[in-house]
């Protein structure tokens, strides 16, 4: 498939997603698999959000941050899956420029919010383990609200400011070698000066990665120090509360690294299916595995579901037990 060229043109009417291949009759099987994945991701995240919101005993900082995490995973998967499902059944894999830019915004803001949310969760665990007596004073409901606002506002703002930089670019081609739109691929299609885009992109990427990473490294260094010098009960508490968070962090970090490799390095020699998998990992695996990890590992959610408070409907808790307890 050849790149469409338009001389002296500022805009091309649409983009072509070049990573798709002709699945023939298997496209319907792919559609069913992807649809089932999306339904599971959507249902499991919504279920945990509702359980946390409805049960007053779960209105604690850790669960509020978890709720924010699940909302973001709904947001990120919704930015990907509907488009993915449409493209699987399409013969011509085109996407309009406005929808492409909207997907760029949702995908990148999802990634930034996820990493910030994980950093705030590590800070919460640090206070709970290292400062247990002062925890309720340090982590008030007002502070939790401010932290959640701080998790969501900067990523939405900085990624919104990306749009005025990529929308006016004069493009000499319109083929994106992925199954979804991304900022780096659009910038590579430009035949105008992209210095500002590159500087802004690298700055935002560095802040989005290294800022949360510093918080996470600092908090876990302190947690490890307390664990080595503390009692067996302290170590058990640290392991039980930090294991799901560490698993989420590693899962998302691997996916983000895969995406960076896919975007920044030439991987045309790699199998097409491998490239698709690498680019989709951070958008599909965290929303898929996080509800399972937290639903199975956070004992208080399961205990609350077995012993629901009077104001909570038993039907919701039965659904939770069926979904996560087997």
CATH number, domain of 247, equals 1.20.1070.10
The answer to the question of residue 3 being in a domain is no
Higher pLDDT, 69 or 323: 69
In this model, does residue 103 exceed pLDDT 90?
A: yes
In this model, does residue 120 exceed pLDDT 70?
A: yes
Cα torsion 265, 204, 16, 174 to 10°: value is: -90
Give the pLDDT score at 174: 86
Domain limits for position 321: 14-325
Share of the chain above pLDDT 90, in %: 35
Higher pLDDT, 86 or 297: 86
The answer to the question of residue 1 being in a domain is no
The answer to the question of residue 133 being in a domain is yes
Could you tell me if 266 and 170 are in contact, meaning their C-beta atoms sit under 8 angstroms apart? Answer: no
Could you tell me if 125 and 224 are in contact, meaning their C-beta atoms sit under 8 angstroms apart? Answer: no
Give the pLDDT score at 12: 55
The answer to the question of residue 258 being in a domain is yes
Span 40-60, pLDDT tens digits: 999 999 999 998 898 888 888
The answer to the question of residue 150 being in a domain is yes
pLDDT averaged over every residue in the chain: 83
Rg (CA), the chain: 22
Enter the pTM of the model: 0.85
Span 212-248, pLDDT tens digits: 999 999 998 988 888 877 777 777 777 777 888 888 8
Q: How many helices and strands in the chain, by DSSP H and E?
A: 12, 3
- The string of DSSP letters for 87-121 reads HHH-SS-EEEHHHHHHHHHHHHHHHHHHHHHHHHH
The answer to the question of residue 179 being in a domain is yes
List of residues 6+ apart from 316 with CB closer than 8 A: 50, 51, 54
Could you tell me if 117 and 72 are in contact, meaning their C-beta atoms sit under 8 angstroms apart? Answer: yes
- The CB density around residue 28, as the number of other CB atoms within 10 Å, is 12
Q: What is the mean pLDDT of residues 283-302?
A: 78
Number of structural domains the chain divides into:
1
The answer to the question of residue 302 being in a domain is yes
The answer to the question of residue 135 being in a domain is yes
CA distance 226 to 242: 13
Give the pLDDT score at 56: 83
């Amino acid at each position: 498939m050849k790149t469409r060229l338009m001389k002296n043109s500022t805009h091309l009417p649409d983009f072509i997603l070049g990573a798709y291949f002709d699945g023939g009759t298997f496209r319907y099987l792919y559609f069913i698999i992807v649809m089932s994945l999306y339904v599971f991701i959507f249902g499991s995240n919504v279920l945990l959000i509702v359980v946390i919101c409805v049960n007053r005993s779960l209105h604690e900082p850790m669960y509020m941050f978890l709720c924010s995490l699940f909302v973001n995973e709904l947001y990120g998967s919704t930015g990907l899956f509907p488009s993915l499902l449409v493209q699987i059944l399409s013969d011509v894999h085109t996407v309009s420029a406005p929808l492409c830019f909207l997907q760029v915004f949702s995908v990148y803001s999802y990634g930034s919010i996820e990493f910030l949310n994980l950093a705030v969760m590590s800070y919460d665990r640090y206070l709970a383990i290292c400062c247990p007596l002062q925890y309720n004073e340090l982590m008030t409901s007002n502070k939790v609200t401010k932290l959640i606002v701080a998790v969501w506002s900067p990523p939405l703002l900085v990624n919104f400011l990306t749009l005025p930089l990529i929308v006016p670019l004069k493009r000499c081609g319109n083929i994106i070698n992925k199954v979804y739109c991304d900022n780096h691929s659009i910038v590579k299609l430009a035949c105008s000066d992209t210095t500002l885009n590159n500087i802004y992109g690298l700055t935002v990427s560095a802040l989005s990665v290294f800022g949360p990473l510093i918080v996470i490294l600092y908090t876990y260094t302190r947690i490890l120090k307390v664990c080595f010098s503390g009692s067996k009960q302290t170590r058990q508490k640290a392991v039980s509360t930090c294991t799901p968070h560490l698993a989420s962090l590693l899962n998302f970090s691997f996916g983000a690294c895969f995406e960076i490799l896919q975007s920044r390095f030439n991987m045309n020699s790699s199998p097409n299916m491998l490239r698709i998998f690498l680019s989709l990992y951070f958008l599909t695996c965290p929303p898929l595995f996080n509800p399972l990890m937290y639903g199975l590992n956070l004992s208080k959610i399961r205990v609350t579901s077995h012993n629901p408070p009077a104001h909570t409907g038993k039907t919701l808790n039965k659904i939770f037990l069926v979904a996560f307890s087997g």
